[in-house]
A and B are shown apart, each in its own frame.
Chain A
């Protein structure tokens, strides 16, 4: 086919970076699609600037999309970048520390003029001053080549320049031997009604692909053979999509209508966007006037016999706190989704963090515990959303679901689940009296189920079941307002005990790695991939380590204590200043060591592997 040598790699990490206007997210998404078609395992990390349209060429306007793929088990978007595609100096400056020594940097050499350099706060040109000597730099005149390719079209200069990402995409696809057809198909549908633009983009894509073939700058082309994934039908899925589909699955299996109340906030808005498209699946969405209204609407819906769900990020949870307590004392089903971002306050709105765990566990007035479930991979968001809904209804309690920006926006190949394999989701509404009072049959809304301690759910419209609930303490059984001291203690304990009983629903914990190790790593949420990949590396390097991942952060799994007793040293990596670690210390009084990363970025496997080496090496 050509004079190029082909090198087969087990895995590779590519990062597309440029200005927000350069279409890097789109380029990354299309490269991901091609990679999925090449049947590699993969993980992605989109990285957006907080500003929507920051001034062109500045470092704070840089948008990136990182993709890690391979024929091996891929658990994270990659530690170190093998190929950085950099559309301008700012993108180079921002991402240089992520490129591994000896890695390749592909730059648009037409964008390294004086002005571009000064926008990126550079005094000298990195292409000339030797600062990139550690890397293999490939200079491509992306702007000029793009203009040349499209010079005979009717597109204006701006339209032409905006298309250069397709040239870059074509080139990257060639470099890693990815199929070009998925991107071609996508362009054909996307611009079906704008043939000018469609043809220009298709032309550039092809030109970029062929450029790799003909230019002498590339002597090697790479190949990554298909991964050995469990058999079945796959698709690429983002965490937000999976979460939304988990909610649809809950509606489908339970037969309950779902009302989703939300107020837009990054990175949770996409859940609202996704669910708004699922009206024909029995999902009603309401964009409320604020987060308090959003949770109030969900509570109202649950009182009416639908399942109320509300979604937001940390700042929104802060506003919902009082209403969440109301749902707790009224004992109504409710799911509260927190797609976490960097905090406190507005913090790092577009970056990921796990710093709302304490808020989820304790962020309410009074003793108001509720089950807290955390998703660990983009695909896991599906099952976690389904389980959150199921438990909320089965135990008549609000349930908090923790996701984060990394899971929400990241994507991974997903073995499409069989709905029949999901846990049963049955709902029974109370329709009959459950007590007698002065010889009369009456309904008492706070008589509990023996196994779950859940109270009955009687929905308005059911004759003879009229009852009042509210935020005031209620008498055990009757649910009437009660200020009795002993009753308050009893009810507080009952509500907590009910939440504890969710332990009954958990599968036994699974140990990853070497069960005989002394060191156990305890993780929760989106760090799972990095921890397990790090453990794998450590094992390969001869360091013994094991890991356990916690899905239900509250209540903690019943068998966790027994699992812990089999190890002697403990590491708790978290993307926060140490939260789960405090819970564990409090609960088990063991010497848990915290591993904290608070940079708005996920852990990389090497960070975990290095830490293991330091502890057991």
Chain B
């Protein structure tokens, strides 16, 4: 089944899909002929050995927490002695009132003092879009560049200045449409920086055309009869491009957002974070299923490394059946937490399965770190290569270079 076979209702604001939110209350019925004896807990599929016993210590790539307060703590004086205010520029923030971008900005500004990075070493690079105005509001070094090209600029600065802490800000159109080529290449290179992708499933700045993440059937100014483009699933896309760190969070849960951003920052490599962001002007409520109180606990699952996949206040869980995830009712007595899949963010296979849980009626939308892989970063390698050449052949001399090869003297 394709990701979007059970997409959101087409062309209108999402209401709760029929039958959603009501847990089945009983074990899923099995298709005829699969012959699972009733009343017995299913055995684990081959290869899905129960990971519960293996509680990972520190996830790979994580630095031990320093003096910084634990993730999600309200901001105060951070390790750097700076506060949120030190990271606000003197420019008026010009997003529409009520825009989800405000929450992301506030969260990032609150996070900064906790990182212990000197302010002058922080660089924010963006493309073009409402979201990409972000650097103007940060009192750090920053560049608001051109549409889709932020990954190239961010790569250039990080490669030549690996000492800097580079953050890239982008939108769903900026990164997945015009910048699609660059986003896949920054992923495979694994440049050590953070990418915050504001996904509002719309082109905000150009006043509301559908974007590469908009659902099929979306009615916008450029698609009065509904969009026919099959949408991208950003997490699946970056995983396909060999992303080494891929995560999803939401504007309406700053605490979760901060935890995720912090992990992305601690990760050595490209930390890709997709943030569901409400554009209250052109795509209001796109993610309300997942972000609003009434439906959030049933429709969103916040998963963590080494923990079982449970949601709805622990009353429901996800278990692996073959290669498929299915929801189970933990209150029915038929299933327990032990039946739930214990997530392992270092498993490419699990990441692929979970990433493909996308706008499903029967499953909650996942939020958390899908994948983390330790591998060398581009910036480190490109500089190591320079150093090793210098080590091997010495610092180059211009005079020697100019007189290289066959020469002769006249006069």
Contact = CB atoms under 8 A, between A and B. Distances in A.
Interface string B143-157: 111100101111111
Contacts of B91: 480-481
Contacts of A303: 123, 141, 143, 153, 156-157
Given A234-B409, A281-B398, A304-B161, A326 B145 contact: yes
B121 interface: yes
Given A280-B396, A304-B156, A468-B141, A234 B149 contact: no
B21 to A, nearest CB: 43
B17 to A, nearest CB: 39
Interface stretch (A76-84, A194-202, A291-299): A291-299
Interface in A62-97: none
Nearest to A414: B402
B382 A284 contact: yes
A481 B128 CA distance: 14
Interface in A279-314: 279-282, 284, 286, 288-290, 292-306, 308
B24 to A, nearest CB: 47
Listed residue (B118, B135, B405, B410) with the most chain A CB atoms within 10 angstroms of its CB: B410
Given A416-B403, A470-B136, A279 B385 contact: yes
Interface in B371-411: 382-383, 385-386, 389-390, 393-396, 398-399, 401-411
B135 A284 contact: no
Given A259-B159, A288-B152, A469 B406 contact: no
B145 A293 contact: no
Contact of A466 (B140, B185, B398): B140
A234 B403 CA distance: 8
B153 A299 contact: yes
A471 B182 contact: no
A292 B144 contact: no
A417 B410 contact: no
B398 A249 contact: yes
Contact of B401 (A257, A281, A289): A281
Nearest to A298: B156
Given A296-B149, A419-B399, A480-B91, A290 B181 contact: yes
A383 to B, nearest CB: 12
Listed residue (B91, B154, B161) with the most chain A CB atoms within 10 angstroms of its CB: B161
A304 B135 CA distance: 16
Given A292-B149, A293-B181, A323-B146, A464 B120 contact: yes
Interface in B82-138: 89, 91, 118-123, 125, 128, 135-136, 138
Given A289-B185, A293-B152, A279 B390 contact: yes
A63 to B, nearest CB: 23
B160 A257 contact: yes
Given A231-B410, A289-B182, A419-B399, A330 B159 contact: no
Contact of B119 (A248, A281, A284, A466): A466
A130 interface: no
Contacts of A232: 409-411
B139 interface: yes
B163 interface: yes
Instruction: Place the interface of chain A in its size category.
Output: 35 or more
A252 interface: yes
A471 B146 contact: yes
Interface stretch (A31-39, A512-520, A534-542): A31-39
Contacts of B393: 280
A257 B122 CA distance: 20
A218 interface: no
A126 interface: no
B239 to A, nearest CB: 19
A465 interface: yes
Given A234-B408, A292-B152, A463 B118 contact: yes
Given A248-B396, A279-B385, A234 B163 contact: no
Contact of B161 (A33, A295, A306): A306
A471 B146 CA distance: 7
Interface residues of B, number: 61
Contacts of A36: 406, 408
Contacts of B385: 279
B142 interface: yes
B160 A278 contact: no
Contact of A280 (B119, B146, B395): B395
A235 B403 CA distance: 7
A264 B188 CA distance: 19
Contacts of B320: none
Listed residue (A257, A300, A464, A465) with the most chain B CB atoms within 10 angstroms of its CB: A300
B325 interface: no
B164 interface: yes
Contacts of B123: 303-304, 460
A139 interface: no
Contacts of B182: 289, 292-293, 296
Contacts, number: 211
A461 interface: yes
A416 B120 contact: no
Contacts of A226: 410
B153 to A, nearest CB: 4
B143 A330 contact: yes
Contacts of B408: 36-37, 39, 233-235
Contact of B159 (A248, A299, A301): A301
B237 to A, nearest CB: 16
A471 B149 CA distance: 12
Interface in B150-193: 151-161, 163-164, 181-182, 185
Contacts of B410: 39, 226, 229-234
A151 interface: no
Contacts of B406: 33, 36-37, 182, 235-236
Contacts of A511: none
Nearest to A249: B398
B159 to A, nearest CB: 6
Contacts of A481: 91, 136
Given A257-B160, A284-B159, A300 B403 contact: no
Contact of B125 (A252, A257, A282, A300): A300
Given A279-B386, A280-B393, A293-B185, A248 B145 contact: no
Contact of B389 (A261, A280, A466): A280
Interface string A446-475: 000000000000011111111111111000
A465 B141 CA distance: 8
A301 B157 contact: yes
A47 B135 CA distance: 50
A300 B125 CA distance: 9
Listed residue (A288, A295, A460) with the most chain B CB atoms within 10 angstroms of its CB: A460
B382 A300 contact: no
Interface in A410-464: 416-417, 419, 459-464
Listed residue (B145, B160, B163, B386) with the most chain A CB atoms within 10 angstroms of its CB: B160
Contacts of A300: 125, 152-160
Contacts of B146: 322-323, 326, 471
27 contacts: A36-B406, A36-B408, A39-B410, A182-B406, A229-B411, A233-B403, A233-B409, A234-B409, A280-B395, A281-B401, A284-B159, A293-B181, A295-B152, A296-B182, A301-B157, A303-B141, A303-B157, A304-B123, A304-B157, A306-B160, A330-B143, A460-B121, A461-B163, A468-B141, A468-B142, A471-B128, A481-B136
Interface of A: 33, 36-37, 39, 182, 226, 229-236, 245, 248-249, 252, 257, 259, 261, 278-282, 284, 286, 288-290, 292-306, 308, 322-323, 326, 330, 416-417, 419, 459-472, 480-481
Given A293-B151, A467-B141, 13 more contacts: A249-B402, A252-B398, A288-B185, A289-B181, A293-B152, A296-B151, A296-B152, A303-B141, A304-B161, A305-B160, A460-B157, A466-B139, A480-B91
**Top 5 closest pairs, chain A to chain B, by CB:** A300-B156, A231-B411, A296-B152, A470-B144, A297-B156
